[in-house]
Amino acid sequence: MRQLQLIIVSLLFFFLHPSLSSSPQSQSLQFKLHRRGPVGPHRASHLKPLFLSDLRRQHWIRSTIKRNLGGSKSYRPACHQSTSEAFEMPIGSGAYTGTGQYFVRVRVGTPAKPFLLVADTGSDLTWVKCRRRMDGMKEKGNGDGVRVFKPEKSSSWQPIKCSTDMCQKTLPFALATCPAPDSPCVYDYGYSDGSRAQGLFANESATITLSSGKKTKLHGLVVGCTTNSSGTSFISSDGVLGLGYSSTSFASLASSLFGGLFSYCLVDHLAPRNLSSLLTFGPTVSSSLIPSTPRVTSLILDSRLTPFYSVSIKCISVDNETLDIPPEVWDISSGGGTILDSGTSLTVLADPAYKAVVSALSRKLAGLPQVQMDPFEYCYNWTSLGTELHVPKLALHFEGAARLDPPSKSYIIDVADGVKCIGFTSAPWPGTSTIGNILQQEHVWEFDIKNRRLRFEHSKCQRH
């Protein structure tokens, strides 16, 4: 039986200002998502540190939301160009590296070099591991045999000066230090799990393949060149692709050239390395991923929790029975609310919602013998019964008619051979709940930034 891989993406950020070298009126972009496979027979022993990694990310999410609600402006989408095309990139699971992240391969610089970046809807900063030569001296920055970007070898590399308005007013995490007007704009970001990323901002280009098959470049992207990184967050990737709900994210700027849309379909979080789906900018090219049927549901995006994508949950049901959860849990103005986050693995519920959900599910599973599997509260010996067991049906009901009916494997999760656990974790109340990537798996999620809407539909996320 497959086993759970739960390492969570620490927050990474990336800022982009794209312009397309060929006409965007007839083009579209897509990125392919890749997932990594299982790492061995002793995964259960890694559950606790992976669980803690999720909790650390939640701490960062709460602090970011608190800071932004305290005075930051809500995100207002820019004007978007109409187009009938898109560009795609493969996107897949990172389980083969022992992480709970999803990866996309992006070609950066001129000539273009491939980098494996974390696809992160909670990040508005994009950066790559970098090694640069300074004033003829020895190369400085990340090395040690890992894949790194070397800016002096890219003809499109243009450092952003610390004296510019962009550095001083727009780019988050930029340091106030500016020893000379021509000095580069630098950043120093400390993540909640103790990891750090330090480097400088620059304008760069990325090479993309349009749905027509033509290759072209996105110019003027703001990319972080991370010369010094530490901690466990960055071991399995070359950096981060920022897909956050922010005017400076790659998602916002790239989608502005392609109809204001981007979408992804996450394959099973334990899918093998050779199975991938697509991250798409522009109208969804693969009609098999988003069919034109009435089953496609839509809900409004709330811009108050930027750079996160906030959605309005109305209630949660188990076997069609609405659970008794205080409405304040889902209300941003009352200290609650819900975000959709590709960088968190497990779904995290504010404590009142968590208690109601796990209580309802555990009552339905009372016929199974419980086993101890730290850090989960409810785990079961799934092989103890010879007959088929009824698995309770969980549903998330959003404001309006939208309803998410995830497959049972997305919330009753495999953690060891013959052992399944109720796959939710608790967040302090008041606080924000997070729909993690495991609950999102095997659905297409289309972010209509132009019209502030989110659409989703069940899909196996298989490319044909």
Q: How confident is the model at residue 22 (pLDDT cuts 50, 70, 90)?
A: very low
* 66 CB-side CA count, 13 A: 8
Q: What is the pLDDT of residue 374?
A: 83
Q: Can you say whether the dihedral through the CA atoms of 38, 43, 44, 46 is positive or negative? A: negative
Q: In sequence order, what are the residues at sequence separation of 6 or more whose Cβ sits closer than 8 angstroms to the Cβ of residue 386?
A: none
Please give the DSSP secondary-structure letter assigned to residue 219: E
pLDDT at 324 over 50: yes
Q: In one letter, which amino acid is 342?
A: S
Q: What is the distance between the alpha carbons of residues 126 and 119, in angstroms, rounded to a whole number?
A: 10
Two tokens at 146? Answer: 């890992």
Residue positions annotated with a catalytic role: 120, 341
Q: What is the distance between the alpha carbons of residues 299 and 401, in angstroms, rounded to a whole number?
A: 8
Q: What is the pLDDT of residue 462?
A: 77
Q: What is the pLDDT of residue 194?
A: 58
Residue 169: Cβ within 10 Å count: 8
Q: What's the pTM value of the predicted model, to 2 decimals?
A: 0.83
| Closest alpha carbon to 238 in 119, 127, 402 | 127
Q: What is the pLDDT of residue 17?
A: 37
Q: What is the mean pLDDT of residues 254-264?
A: 91
| Closest alpha carbon to 30 in 295, 377, 264 | 264
Q: What is the distance between the alpha carbons of residues 333 and 351, in angstroms, rounded to a whole number?
A: 17
CA distances from residue 393 to 50, 218, 339, 409, 410 in whole angstroms, order as listed: 26, 44, 22, 11, 11
Q: How confident is the model at residue 148 (pLDDT cuts 50, 70, 90)?
A: very high
Contact 349, 424 (CB under 8 A): yes
Contact 14, 118 (CB under 8 A): no
Query: Which of 144-158, 273-287, 446-460 reaches the highest mean pLDDT?
Result: 446-460
Q: In one letter, which amino acid is 159?
A: P
Q: How confident is the model at residue 47 (pLDDT cuts 50, 70, 90)?
A: low
CA distances from residue 159 to 202, 204, 345, 447 in whole angstroms, order as listed: 4, 9, 35, 31
Q: What is the distance between the alpha carbons of residues 109 and 371, in angstroms, rounded to a whole number?
A: 51
Contact 271, 41 (CB under 8 A): no
% residues pLDDT > 70 (the chain): 75
Contact 91, 440 (CB under 8 A): no
pLDDT at 184 over 80: yes
pLDDT: which is higher, 408 or 195 = 408
Q: How confident is the model at residue 45 (pLDDT cuts 50, 70, 90)?
A: very low
pLDDT at 188 over 70: yes
- Looking at the chain, how many residues does it have? 464
Q: What is the mean pLDDT of residues 65-80?
A: 60
